[in-house]
């Protein structure tokens, strides 16, 4: 995932019968606020319009042209109202720019002790008019947490951080290419999905049969430079004590082939068949390779759960930290708000308080221990977490999902795999929702508090049907 600096287009609203100096100061304050947030901006200057603001149709045309010229740079647009602003010019700018990126509407508060004709803003009211027109024009937009908020405030910095996450999710899910590596395991009907429905939402699926993977691996020699490089990466990534060298070389070849294919096909995230073809016909589990990809912000889900890796990706885009795919797996004693989340496991190293490579204890009983080395196991560290699940609802023809927040706890648990105890308020309500609506048993998790951003991006800009647990 790119670490590129975010760039916001800025529209400074102005209206002639309000004091012009409000627009001038507002222009300066917004640029300063974005710089403080570590963002660049594209905005008209005083040489382009009065105080760099947008009021007339001609100024709207100039601003739209500037945005179009910089469209490859822009992540979002901020509409800033230092006074009432001209709602038509704002909406016209967005229509003519044709950007299809998120929009945040901000209005600067009045000072109740300074409401003379020279200082009164009326942006409290103007924000409603701007939003009304954006809605008339069919342009989706987001709002600051407070109706009016000063550009120089900490509250607005929080708004910017949230909006940046919204932009990353909304833009990062568009024109996305997902790798589907292998066939869905027969026993996992639950991870069925609609490629056509994803395509209708701008998400393409690129398939690769496991026979091709194994065929490409068969052509690789152990001393191949790419294989040796991947082998070194594996040994740096996780403790491999007790794991046979032959198994590590197989993992390195698998990782090299997948990496190479993803680069060739411009695939960003992936879902991989494991159970049990990989073990029976190749002799390792793909967990370490998938863990490494997820840890590098290239989410990889097992059991060809394409919608699962999309869920991981959304959280990773929002937080810019690794996501994992987990099973809602067990109750935790008799606490109704706690559960055990587990996988066998391919969790990214970022998730663990202690981690090592091991064999897959569940499959080993069927295919033999020697064919199941490569899991990344340990106890998930405590901390705040966000969770998300997307799904294709083929019957209704919609994308849907749920998001929420909770925490991984320090509660004791003696078991195998990659495992953590989660605590979520009103968990039983969430579990009922999952079952009543037929969602999968997999859920994406991330060490962050980004449910609000994921929900906003999915609902407002992607047009998906979402449930926000706890909101």
For the stretch 377-410, pLDDT in tens is 999 999 999 999 999 999 999 999 999 999 999 9
How confident is the model at residue 81, as a pLDDT? 98
CB 199 within 8 A of CB 172: no
CB 188 within 8 A of CB 303: yes
H/E element holding 26? helix 20-36
Q: How many whole angstroms separate alpha carbon 315 and alpha carbon 386?
A: 8
Determine how β-strand 465-468 pairs with β-strand 356-359.
unpaired
Helix axes 154-172, 306-319, angle to 10 degrees: 150
How confident is the model at residue 3, as a pLDDT? 63
- The two three-digit tokens of residue 344, written as one number: 């066998």
* pLDDT reading at 1 higher than 60: no
The residue written with tokens 């705040």 in the block is 384
pLDDT band at residue 180 using 50, 70 and 90 as cut-offs: very high
* DSSP at 183: P
How confident is the model at residue 43, as a pLDDT? 98
How confident is the model at residue 86, as a pLDDT? 96
pLDDT in tens, 430-443: 999 999 999 999 99
pLDDT band at residue 101 using 50, 70 and 90 as cut-offs: very high
For residue 377, the cross-strand partners are 356
Query: 176-468 has which CATH code?
Result: 3.40.275.10
Q: Rounded to an integer, what is the distance from CA 77 to the centroid of its chain? A: 19
pLDDT in tens, 41-52: 999 999 999 999
How confident is the model at residue 444, as a pLDDT? 98
Contacts of 317 (CB under 8 A, 6+ apart): 1, 165, 168, 169, 172, 173
User: Does residue 276 have a cis bond before it (omega within 30 degrees)?
Assistant: yes
Q: Which CATH class, in words, describes the domain spanning 7-172?
A: alpha beta
Domain coordinates in residue numbering, the chain? 7-172, 176-468
Q: How many whole angstroms separate alpha carbon 351 and alpha carbon 382?
A: 9
* pLDDT reading at 16 higher than 90: no
- The two three-digit tokens of residue 411, written as one number: 């509660």
Neighbours of 351 (CB within 10 A): 30
What's the start-to-end Cα distance of the chain, in Å?
Answer: 29
- Mean pLDDT on 87-108: 98
Instruction: Using alpha carbons, select from 326, 338, 329, 343 the residue that is nearest to residue 446.
Output: 326
If you average pLDDT over every residue of the chain, what do you get?
A: 97
Neighbours of 229 (CB within 10 A): 14
Neighbours of 135 (CB within 10 A): 12
Contacts of 111 (CB under 8 A, 6+ apart): 119
Q: How many whole angstroms separate alpha carbon 224 and alpha carbon 253?
A: 9
Instruction: Using alpha carbons, select from 417, 419, 370 the residue that is nearest to residue 248.
Output: 370
CB 30 within 8 A of CB 77: no
How confident is the model at residue 18, as a pLDDT? 80
Give the pTM.
0.97
């Amino acid at each position: 995932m790119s670490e590129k600096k975010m760039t916001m287009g800025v529209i400074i609203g102005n209206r002639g019968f309000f004091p012009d100096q409000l627009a001038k100061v507002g222009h300066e304050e917004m640029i300063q606020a974005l710089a403080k947030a570590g963002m660049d901006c594209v905005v008209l200057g005083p040489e382009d319009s009065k105080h760099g603001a947008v009021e007339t149709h001609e100024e709207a045309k100039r601003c739209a042209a500037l945005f179009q010229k910089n469209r490859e740079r822009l992540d979002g647009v901020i509409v800033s109202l230092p006074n009432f602003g001209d709602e038509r010019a704002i909406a016209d700018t967005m229509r003519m720019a044709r950007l299809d990126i998120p929009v945040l509407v901000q209005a600067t508060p009045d000072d109740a002790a300074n409401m003379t004709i020279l200082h009164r803003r009326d942006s409290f009211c103007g924000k409603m008019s701007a939003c009304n027109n954006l809605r008339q024009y069919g342009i989706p937009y987001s709002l600051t947490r407070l109706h009016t908020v000063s550009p120089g405030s900490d509250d607005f910095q929080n708004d910017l951080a949230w909006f940046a996450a919204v932009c990353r999710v909304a833009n990062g899910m568009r024109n996305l290419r997902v790798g589907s590596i292998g066939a869905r395991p027969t026993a996992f009907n639950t991870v069925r999905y609609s490629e056509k429905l994803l395509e209708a939402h701008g998400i393409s699926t690129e398939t690769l049969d496991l026979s091709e993977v194994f065929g490409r691996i068969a052509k690789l020699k152990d001393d191949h430079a790419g294989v040796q490089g991947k082998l070194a990466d594996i040994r740096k990534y996780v403790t491999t004590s007790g794991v046979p060298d032959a198994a590590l070389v197989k993992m390195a070849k698998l990782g090299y082939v997948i990496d190479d294919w993803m680069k060739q096909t411009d695939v960003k995230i992936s879902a991989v068949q494991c159970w049990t073809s990989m073990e029976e016909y190749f002799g390792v589990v793909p967990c370490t390779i998938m863990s490494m990809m997820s840890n590098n912000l290239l989410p990889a889900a097992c059991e060809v759960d394409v919608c699962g890796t999309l869920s991981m990706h959304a959280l990773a885009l929002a937080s810019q930290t690794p996501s994992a795919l987990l099973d809602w797996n067990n109750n935790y004693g008799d606490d109704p708000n706690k559960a055990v989340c587990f996988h066998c496991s391919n969790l990214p190293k970022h998730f663990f308080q202690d981690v090592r490579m091991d064999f897959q204890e569940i499959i080993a009983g069927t295919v033999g221990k020697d064919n199941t080395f490569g899991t990344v196991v340990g106890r998930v560290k405590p901390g705040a977490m966000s969770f998300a699940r997307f799904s294709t609802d083929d019957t209704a023809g919609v994308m849907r999902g749920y998001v929420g927040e909770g925490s991984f706890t320090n509660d004791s648990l003696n078991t195998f795999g990659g495992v953590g105890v989660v605590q979520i308020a009103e968990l039983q309500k969430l579990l009922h929702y999952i079952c009543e609506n037929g969602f999968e048993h997999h859920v994406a998790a991330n060490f962050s508090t980004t449910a609000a951003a994921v929900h906003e991006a999915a609902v407002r800009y992607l047009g998906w049907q979402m449930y926000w647990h706890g909101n």
